[in-house]
Structure 1
């Protein structure tokens, strides 16, 4: 049995994109739960890995992405989630956290076999990332109150798909077990 890692998906964000107006209220609601999850992970020595879009800026690095998001009009959604010195950061260009990124290698180096997913967008990047984690034989938990959506009905369906088709445990942030998903708990 390996260990857990918290994966924060696309929360370092400028919110300057199509559907941002639909996403922002859900993100604002999810941020406190994401913060609690990150704080618990840090306190318990669980790796926190930010996997974030590069916004199509192929010359950028995680510091620049963070600075750009913090300089934007929705810095209040980013500041509480600021990576600390121990946080790891992986850039991605597509929906899945695994697609053409070094994340699978990083997880193997950390002996992680259980990923706890949080972030945005539930019905897109979180869903595709859960599927990719599942097909890599990783245990998957999704902090159901720490994910943000654009379309509530699609997010609800995505969470059900993750549970049913990917054997993901969808639990509340405060119920996430870092030694693996707690049996039979739902958010």
Structure 2
């Protein structure tokens, strides 16, 4: 089978993985400006998706205050995080969902694990997932792997992600590109492609 190199195959959706206020408390030695730059990249793509009429899906990682749903998440480097009631679980102000967009909660890293994301995507007839969010090497990476294994095309916004460290960020981007060569993208590439997709969509109606 010929490798698919087009960036948008079939119907796309934008998936924002955990764009939560806790990113400003992120480890990894990132400067405040780097965090803000990644949020700005997501905002650019989100604005283009909305104008194009593309489905937009938000995920938040949220854990019960009783801490009964962490499973093995605290066995590694991560500390207690994303507890319900904390201000840090809220979606960033500049990326707030609007009416008609989809919001979802998850208890694990992957947006597919224990959620109805696959049902939602199939209901929307989506083939291509444009993805960004936090952290690259955790929730974004694991979601991308599950999307790949469920036969979706993945397009990862390299400027719209940050990792638990800069080394982990790059390693995960490399790993996702290994799975799908065309997954590598950024806001500068995707915005005009989304705009063109929206124009073609409107012309076909």
Give me the TM-score of the superposition, normalised by structure 1.
Answer: 0.78
Contact 1:27 1:120 in 2 (8 A): no
Q: Following TM superposition, by how much is the alpha carbon of 1:55 offset from its aligned partner in structure 2, in angstroms?
A: 3.5
Corresponding residue to 2:10 among 2, 22, 37: 2
The one-character-per-residue Cα deviations of 1:100-132 (angstroms, maximum 9, x if unpaired) are 100000000000010001110001111111100
Give 1:172 shift: 1.4
1:50 aligns with 2:58: yes
Partner of 1:135: 149
Structure 1 residue corresponding to 2:189, chosen from 175, 179, 182: 175
Q: Greater CA radius of gyration, 1 or 2? A: 2
Measure how far apart 1:34 and its partner are. 0.5
In structure 1, what is the equivalent of residue 120 of structure 2?
Answer: 106
**For 1:128-184, what per-residue CA distance to the aligned partner results, in whole angstroms no more than 9, with x for missing partners?**
1110000000000001111122210111111011011244521111212445xxxxx
Q: CA deviation at 1:22?
A: 4.5
Partner of 1:61: none
Aligned residue number for residue 62 of structure 1: none
Runs of 4+ in 1 over 4 A off after TM superposition: 19-24
Shift of 1:94: 0.6
8 Å CA contact 2:109–2:143 kept in 1: the answer is yes
Asked if 1:122 is matched to 2:130, the reply is: no
CA RMSD of aligned residues (A): 2.8
Aligned counterpart, 1:159:
173
CA contact (8 A) 1:131 1:166 kept: no
Question: Number of aligned pairs?
Answer: 168
1:52 positional shift: 1.2
Structure 1: runs of 5+ lacking an equivalent: 59-64, 180-187
